[in-house]
């Protein structure tokens, strides 16, 4: 196999494209195939920094881990980071090039350019050439590239400017497998309707379907699978069962912010007498909330996302995660009474951890002429820190030491922190009393440091909590990725998938009317 390819599309967002792509990458890698993931255009506030200092979607970094390769900017050439309801920061080949409205990004000639050249970067012709060049380079250096689509390929309002679904498939002659989430209901209508809304040239590349998140006896589904094949002329290449507790990186925090923003982790029994309760504040434009995944992996640690002041007050540790809107998050915390709850925790000596944007808003003052353009704003005043936003974004992979343990992390921020005191330095940030702040994402994935930090938190909270001595977050993540590979290997037609990857979509696939208007 040389330079094979496959595009995993979905009937909707959250149909399972990311995990199916990761599962196929892991299955191929275990079989000795040199495979890489690819997503031409990603919209996500969860991002990662490669060793070369490029920013990409965190889902693509997870998929690279599944493939056993080092993540690179080639795997996610266009990243859109929402900064509000109508605008996003455009990150091109790992570097931010400016802010742009949705209309401007998709080439509306009436939208004026924004600073930093984002208008030029947003032209479809330029972007399509960029993403196809990146894909071609990956195909040249790998046996196979498994591409992930975005949203649905049947978003007919966006087809003219599409570079991530059928636009990419047509340009690179990629066979397409469409994933449908049966747990949502209506999977047959979704798969059929997605195909029937595509133009003939797009339909010619749709080679089959995968049903995802199935619960129950698959034999009950088989009559429907056969009818779908009869209606479309395309086979269902597998029915993947619903898998609990995968904990694989999600692309965004939208679902966590719905209806109060509550999500609970599965909890293993504690190693000591007590559990440790962690409350994570789902701030607006929350980014890299995956920082708390390593806490949730610890036996006896209960992680809960909540926007209720009483639940924040009751927790043993409060975490304020990153955000793409620090000033907006500050106002939101004050409006909901959460700022007061954090201040009371600090006054009582109860632990608070701020990460990146969460660290910034815990400080005394923020000068922002870049992100919100709000000028000078008072922070919560819980840490002796002043933050000034710079146009140049910091993208780094720092290594250091804290609490006597080696720590690795990554930084993604425009704010530059000036630390003027504190009880002790903390990962280029500081600690004052029981309040900790750092710009470093991913630090809690360092096992020794995480255990040392939790021991301090437990002591401050008065809990008889003891971190388990042998929890390895990296090993747990590998187990999860292997489970994804198992799902594909055991429940998909892997021979058919290999034929598509090596030979492309078969000739003569029937047209399903009416097609795109």
Q: Evaluate whether 319 touches 279 at the Cβ level (below 8 Å).
A: yes
pTM over 0.85: yes
DSSP string, 190-250: HHHHHHHTS-HHHHTTEEEEEEEEE-S-GGGTHHHHHHHHHHHS--EEEEEEP-TT--PPP
> What ranges in 31-123 are assigned the alpha helix state H?
58-67, 102-105, 118-121
Q: Quick one: pLDDT at residue 65?
A: 97
Q: What's the pLDDT band for 262 if we cut at 50, 70, 90?
A: very low
Q: Evaluate whether 142 touches 36 at the Cβ level (below 8 Å).
A: yes
Q: Evaluate whether 394 touches 416 at the Cβ level (below 8 Å).
A: yes
| CB crowding 112-123: b at 16 or more within 10 Å, else e | eebebebbebbe
Res. 321: pLDDT tops 80:
yes
State the helix-helix crossing angle for 473-491 and 17-30, rounded to 10 degrees.
Answer: 90
Q: Quick one: pLDDT at residue 248?
A: 65
Question: Which whole number is the average pLDDT over 113-133?
Answer: 65
Q: Is the dihedral of CA 457, 61, 287, 49 positive or negative?
A: positive
Q: Quick one: pLDDT at residue 146?
A: 98
The mean predicted confidence, pLDDT, of the chain is 90
Res. 247: pLDDT tops 90:
no
Q: Quick one: pLDDT at residue 260?
A: 37
Q: Quick one: pLDDT at residue 228?
A: 97
Q: What's the pLDDT band for 99 if we cut at 50, 70, 90?
A: confident
Q: Evaluate whether 345 touches 319 at the Cβ level (below 8 Å).
A: no
Q: Which residues are catalytic?
A: 356, 441
Q: Evaluate whether 202 touches 7 at the Cβ level (below 8 Å).
A: no
Q: Which letter does DSSP use for residue 511 in this model?
A: P
Task: Write the CA distances from 266 to 69, 299, 303, 325, 464, integer angstroms.
Answer: 29, 9, 8, 29, 20
Quote the tokens at residue 259.
């209806």
Q: Quick one: pLDDT at residue 80?
A: 93
Q: Quick one: pLDDT at residue 23?
A: 97
* Cα(349)–Cα(431) distance, integer angstroms: 12
Question: Which whole number is the average pLDDT over 165-174?
Answer: 96
Residue 433, phi then psi, degrees to nearest 5: 60, -125
Element (H, E) at 347: helix 338-347
Question: Which whole number is the average pLDDT over 27-42?
Answer: 97
Give the tens place of pLDDT for each residue, 267-317: 678 888 899 999 999 999 999 989 999 999 999 999 999 999 999 999 999
Question: Which whole number is the average pLDDT over 463-467?
Answer: 94
Residue ranges and CATH numbers for the domains of the chain are 4-247+478-503 (3.40.50.300), 272-468 (3.40.50.880)
156 φ/ψ sector (left φ>0, alpha ψ -120 to 50, else beta): alpha
Q: Dihedral through CA 155, CA 161, CA 165, CA 168, nearest 10?
A: 160
């Amino acid at each position: 196999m040389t330079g094979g390819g496959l595009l995993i599309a979905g009937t909707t967002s959250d149909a399972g494209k990311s995990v199916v792509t990761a599962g196929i990458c892991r299955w191929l890698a275990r079989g000795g195939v040199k495979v890489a993931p690819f997503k031409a255009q990603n919209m996500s506030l969860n991002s990662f920094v490669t060793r070369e200092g490029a920013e990409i979607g965190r889902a693509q970094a997870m998929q690279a881990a599944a493939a056993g390769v080092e993540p690179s900017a080639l795997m996610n050439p266009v990243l859109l980071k929402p900064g509000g309801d109508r605008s996003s920061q455009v990150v091109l080949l790992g570097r931010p090039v400016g802010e742009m409205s949705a209309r401007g990004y998709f080439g509306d000639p009436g939208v004026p350019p924004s600073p930093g050249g984002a208008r030029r970067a947003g032209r479809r012709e330029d972007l399509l050439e960029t993403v196809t060049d990146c894909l071609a380079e990956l195909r040249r250096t790998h046996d196979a590239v498994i591409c992930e689509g975005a949203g649905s390929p049947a978003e007919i309002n966006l087809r003219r400017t599409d570079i991530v679904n059928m636009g990419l498939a047509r340009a690179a002659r990629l066979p397409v497998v469409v994933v449908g989430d049966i747990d949502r209901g209506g999977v047959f209508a979704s798969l059929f309707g997605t195909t029937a809304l595509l133009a003939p040239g797009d339909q010619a590349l749709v080679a089959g379907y995968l049903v995802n998140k199935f619960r129950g006896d698959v034999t009950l589904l088989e009559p429907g699978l056969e009818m779908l094949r009869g209606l479309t002329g395309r086979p269902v290449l597998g029915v993947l069962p619903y898998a609990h507790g995968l904990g694989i990186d999600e692309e965004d925090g939208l679902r966590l912010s719905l209806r109060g923003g509550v999500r609970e982790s599965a909890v293993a029994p504690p190693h000591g007498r007590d559990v440790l309760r962690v409350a994570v504040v789902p701030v607006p434009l929350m980014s890299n909330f995956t920082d708390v995944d390593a806490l949730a992996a610890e036996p006896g640690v209960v992680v809960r996302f909540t926007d209720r002041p009483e639940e924040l007050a009751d927790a043993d540790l409060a975490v304020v995660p990153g955000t793409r809107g620090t000033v907006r998050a500050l106002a939101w915390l004050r409006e909901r009474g959460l700022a007061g709850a954090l201040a009371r925790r600090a006054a009582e000596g109860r632990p608070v951890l701020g990460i990146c944007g969460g660290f910034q808003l815990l400080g005394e003052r923020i000068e922002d002429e870049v992100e919100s353009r709000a000028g000078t704003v008072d922070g919560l005043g819980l840490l002796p820190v002043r933050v000034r936003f710079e146009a140049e974004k910091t993208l780094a992979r720092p290594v250091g030491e804290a609490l006597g343990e080696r720590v690795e992390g990554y930084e993604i921020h425009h704010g530059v922190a000036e630390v003027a005191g504190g009880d002790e330095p903390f990962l280029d940030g500081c600690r004052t009393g029981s309040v900790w702040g750092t710009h470093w994402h991913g630090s809690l994935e360092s096992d020794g440091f995480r255990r040392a930090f939790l021991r301090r938190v437990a002591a401050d909270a008065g809990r008889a909590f003891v971190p388990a001595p042998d929890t390895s977050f990296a090993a747990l993540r590998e187990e999860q990725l292997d489970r994804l590979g198992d799902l594909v290997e055991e429940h998909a037609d892997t021979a058919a998938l290999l034929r598509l990857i090596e030979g492309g979509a078969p000739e003569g696939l029937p047209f399903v009317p009416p097609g795109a208007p």
